[in-house]
Structure 1
Amino acid sequence: MVRGGWEGHAPVAATELFVPHLEKHGFEVHRADSPAPYADADFMAGVDLVVQCYTMGTIERDELSGLEAAIRAGTGMAGWHGGIADSFRNSSDYLHLIGGQFACHPGKDPAAPGAGTQEHNFVPYTVTMLPEAADHPITAGITDFDLVTEQYWVLTDDYIDVLATTTQKIRPWDPWHREVTSPAIWTRRWGKGRIFVTTPGHSLDVLEHDSVRTVIERGMLWAAR
């Protein structure tokens, strides 16, 4: 588990939520507060799964090269929200590896009270499951679900396998002119490795939502070597 970066996503508490699940399935969990272990090729060769919750921050060239090489060789990677989709903005190669990058989370009317607070960014939205999700081991049996939290607008490529989406509506104060649909849950194959990403997960209460938690728990197991 690599956790750190912006503290607003509670990286330590958030990752600790999932330690019992991983240990139950036989994992020995190592914790790091920076991406430095990625540069240790010998260590990474024995890592079956990277769970990353590291919002923003920076990554060094050797760290990213080590992470990419490990995934290419079969190490899995999993994460949620800004901990994986808004990590290491200094690196386009990291973006290429993950397949999606946080762009924004449009909030409430900027003229409404509370502008500038985190809560002002919490909006009601639906995570819509795609037909491909019906029998996927990460999402089987999960139906559309509603959240009130940050709704991520992400920039992606078409080399991701999308399991669920979310749609930004058009509101009177928004500058866009049609609805925008972004992936909310996706996977990506990279060499022999698997990558799992879900964009809900801003806070502990969201991570404890039944559907979100189930998707993350399954996604970690699916991604693991």
Structure 2
Amino acid sequence: MTRAALVVRGGWDGHHPVEATDLFVPFLRESGFDVAIETDPQTYADADRMAATDLIVQSVTMSEISQEAVRGLRDAVAAGTGLAGWHGGIADSYRASSDYLQLVGGQFATHPSKHPDEVHGDQSDNYLDYTVELTDLGRGHEIMAGIDDFALHTEQYWVLHDDLNDVLATTTHPVQPYHPWHRPIVSPAVWTRDWGRGRVFVATPGHSPDVLQDANVRTIIERGMLWAARTR
């Protein structure tokens, strides 16, 4: 039976929403989804369309969303539609909407930068070596099966979050003399969230297509999308 996936992409171009989501469209089709693509989150306000959608994959960094669209998205997930995404496309969307932030369960706060002497004024200023570390919960979860802690060189998201998340992996921001915090900060890197009858999946790695093609990152996102859609 064919299932319906809706990819909503747009917002800040720095996250390459078209190229990034295009990496996963073939996988979704091979997994039995009829894939539709939209560039306006207002589609969430279409109740009939949402009721017929099994999975929403969102890649919209920052941007704005209407109250009607947020309500439609929340209602759809609560009724059983899965919601999945990565990096700023889901964890840094619609900053002015508290209802959206509550639904997703985590909001990008910052990505700490390199030493001031190594800063050049471009995106690479925030590319750090860091480790994604599985939690005990993650080690037993189907999304993370066969995956161990792994290293990345990219933006390391500092995320504001709440306890409704089931955190499958974390990353730790160390103390540096050029930053103002005084102890290591642990942020979720991969989490799931139950919302009504629906499921939410978020992975914070994914700043650029090369990161999304990392074997671990890509596997986690592919499995996360299927998990959110209840096909795993």
Task: Please give the TM-score of this superposition, normalised by the length of structure 1.
Answer: 0.98
Q: Distance in 1 between matches of 2:182 and 2:79?
A: 43
* Pairing 1:150–2:148 present: no
Contact 1:73 1:193 in 2 (8 A): yes
Distance in 2 separating the partners of 1:205 and 1:121: 16
Pair 1:201 & 2:231 matched: no
Q: Name the structure 1 match of 2:48.
A: 42
Unmatched tracts of structure 2, length 5 or more:
1-6
Structure showing the higher strand proportion among its residues = 2
- What SS class does the counterpart of residue 205 from structure 1 fall into? helix
SS at match of 1:79: strand
Alpha-carbon deviation of 1:133?
Answer: 1.4
Aligned residue for 2:116?
110
Q: Are 1:76 and 2:82 matched, yes or no?
A: yes
Number of residues of Structure 1 aligned to a counterpart in Structure 2: 224
CA distance in 2, matches of 1:59, 1:142: 35
Q: Select 2:71's aligned residue among 56, 65, 75.
A: 65
Deviation at 1:111? 3.1
CA distance in 2, matches of 1:111, 1:67: 44
Q: Cα deviations across residues 64-88 of structure 1 (Å, max 9, x unaligned)? A: 0000000000000000000000000
How far 1:135 sits from its partner (Å)? 2.4
**What's the C-alpha RMSD, in Å, of the aligned pairs?**
0.7
Equivalent pair of 1:49/1:220 in contact (CA under 8 Å): yes
Q: 1:111 is paired with a residue of what secondary structure?
A: helix
The match for 1:186 is 191
SS at match of 1:42: helix
Partner deviation per Cα, 1:103-157 (whole Å, 9 max, x = no partner):
000010123241x210111000000011111221110110000000000000000
Other-structure match for 1:221: 226
Offset of 1:53 from its aligned partner? 0.3
Distance in 2 between residues matched to 1:128 and 1:92, nearest whole Å: 29
Task: Provide runs of 4+ in structure 1 moved above 2 Å.
Answer: 110-113
The DSSP-based 3-state class of the residue aligned with 2:33 is coil
C-alpha change, 1:72 and 1:107, in structure 2 (3 Å) is same
For residue 47 of structure 1, give the secondary structure of its aligned residue in structure 2: coil
1:135·1:141 contact (CA, 8 Å) conserved in 2? no
Mapped contact 1:53–1:79 kept (Cα < 8 A):
yes
- Which of 1, 16, 29 aligns to 2:35? It is 29
C-alpha distance in 2 between matches for 1:210 and 1:104: 25
Which of 8, 14, 29 is residue 2 of structure 1 equivalent to? 8
1:13-48 deviation line (CA, Å, top 9, x unaligned): 100100111001110000001101100000110000
Counterpart residue number, 1:173: 178
Q: How much identity, in percent, do the aligned residues show?
A: 60
Q: Quote the Cα distance in structure 1 between the aligned partners of 2:33 and 2:137.
A: 29
The superposition leaves residues 190-213 of structure 1 with CA deviations (integer Å, 9 ceiling, x where unpaired) of 000000000000000100000000
| Residues 132-143 of structure 1 mapped to structure 2, 5 A cutoff | 132-143=137-148
